[in-house]
């Protein structure tokens, strides 16, 4: 009888070892991931820099609004209003986490700043005389563009800068105005607001 107990005990020990190692292996694989499920769906659409869109459902999706005012010491004060979104600190891991990341500012489609906070001072040299479009777009930490229904999560404002008149100080004579625009820009953003002159 001893000869049948030993093979059964050895078989039971093998089953326990195999089951235990299989359980440990799956737990270790999840440990490095940000979450056990993927965040959104990567689309074939890309922004003008070639970064892919990461499409998420409308419910709980990140959103951004933008306001621009003339700065008291020149330049422009930019303020972003975000919903369902948190700015990641510098040095954050380059992996997507739902509702986290950074914003990038574009003047007429040209990148000018990466933001990890809602306020920014835009240098007047980046906005020469004329009307320009300022866009704030939200990105995940891995560089993908947050998108909803295939459209990037962004908001735009039109800025008009003019040169100072004769005999006036450049700070006060330069009449500037910013108008925030929303859904009509093709992306997500705050609803259209009436134009403001400053």
DSSP string of 16-50, one letter each residue: HHHHHHHHHHHHHHHHTSSSSS--SEEEEEE-TTS
Mean pLDDT taken over the chain: 77
Exposed (0-12), middle (13-18) or buried (19+): which is 127, by Cβ within 10 Å? buried
The torsion angle over the Cα atoms of residues 142, 147, 149 and 150, rounded to 10 degrees, is -80
Entry field: residues in the chain = 198
Residues 151-171, mean pLDDT to the nearest whole number: 75
Do 145 and 104 contact (CB within 8 A), yes or no? no
Is the predicted pLDDT of residue 45 greater than 50, yes or no? yes
Write out pLDDT tens, residues 75-123. 999 999 999 999 999 999 999 999 999 999 999 999 999 999 999 999 9
Instruction: For residue 118, give every residue at least 6 positions away whose Cβ sits within 8 Å of its Cβ, in sequence order, or none.
Output: 79, 80, 81, 82, 87
The pLDDT of residue 3:
52
- CA–CA separation, 97 vs 35, rounded Å? 8
Average the pLDDT over each of 26-40, 53-67, 117-131 and give the range with the smallest value.
26-40
Do 59 and 148 contact (CB within 8 A), yes or no? no
Is the predicted pLDDT of residue 180 greater than 60, yes or no? no
* Buried-exposed string 52-62: b where 16+ CB fall within 10 A, e elsewhere: bbbbbeeeebb
Do 100 and 150 contact (CB within 8 A), yes or no? no
Is the predicted pLDDT of residue 131 greater than 50, yes or no? yes
């Amino acid at each position: 009888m001893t000869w049948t107990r030993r093979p059964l005990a050895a078989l039971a020990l093998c089953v326990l070892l195999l089951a235990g190692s299989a359980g440990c292996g799956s737990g270790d694989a999840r440990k490095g991931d940000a979450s056990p499920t993927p965040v959104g769906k990567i689309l074939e659409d890309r922004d003008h820099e070639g970064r892919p869109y990461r499409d998420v459902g409308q419910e709980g999706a990140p959103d951004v609004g933008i306001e621009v005012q003339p700065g008291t010491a020149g330049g422009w004060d930019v303020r972003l209003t975000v919903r369902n979104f948190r700015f990641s600190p510098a040095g954050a891991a380059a992996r997507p986490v739902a509702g986290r990341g950074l914003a990038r500012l574009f003047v007429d489609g040209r990148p000018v700043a990466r933001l990890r906070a809602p306020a920014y001072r835009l240098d007047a040299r980046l906005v020469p005389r004329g009307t320009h479009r300022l866009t704030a777009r939200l990105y995940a930490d891995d560089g993908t563009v947050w998108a909803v229904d295939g459209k990037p999560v962004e908001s735009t404002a039109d800025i008009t800068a003019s040169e100072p008149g004769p005999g006036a100080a450049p700070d006060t004579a330069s009449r500037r105005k910013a108008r925030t625009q929303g859904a009509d820009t093709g992306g997500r953003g705050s609803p259209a607001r009436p134009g403001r002159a400053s």
